Amino acid sequence: MTLTGQTALVTGASRGLGRAIARRLAREGSAVSINYVARANEAASLCDEIRAEGGRAITVQADVGDAAQVKRMAERTVSELGPISILVNNAGVVYRATLETFEPTGMERMRRINVDGLIYVTRAVLPPMKERKYGRIVNLSSIAGHGTSLPGNAFYAATKGAVTVLTRRFA
């Protein structure tokens, strides 16, 4: 696989799966926009690693649950790396609670990032992809979104179920 000439935006890319995905995309030739919200040092480290291997990368701090920040993230990516042709919606958080311990603020934050964030980022990159008649969008979900869940993960499962349904409907 070669992705030379492509630009990828990976949300939640400072660690874990997002970091691994961003590294792989860079190794395949894609320029990579590394989104993070709080782990600036980890994002910068990944950016440095990619550049040391001859790749192109930038870091962009943005809360994917904030539409204005997402818009700025997409604009900066395009300005510095070129049109976004690959989007990996990876950012996500877990809020563990039972019905008895549920707090609205925990659920709100998780929904805002896991569901709204996917919508905001997709909406920011999709129109230019359609204009160019090319683009790839990958949404990361969870097996929990298919109805299986550990105790205390029902609310997380609900947000990942929403990701799964939205992915199918957007396709």
The full DSSP string for 68-130 is HHHHHHHHHHHHHH-S--EEEE---------TTT--HHHHHHHHIIIIIHHHHHHHHHHHHHH
Q: Assign domain 7-170 one CATH number from 3.40.50.150, 3.40.50.1110, 3.40.50.720, 3.40.50.20.
A: 3.40.50.720
Q: What is the pLDDT of residues 35-73, one digit of tens each?
A: 999 999 999 999 999 999 999 999 999 999 999 999 999
Q: What is the pLDDT of residues 105-159, one digit of tens each?
A: 888 999 999 999 999 999 999 999 999 999 999 998 876 666 766 777 888 888 8
pLDDT value at 93 more than 80: yes
- Catalytically active residues are 156
Q: Where are the domains of the chain?
A: 7-170
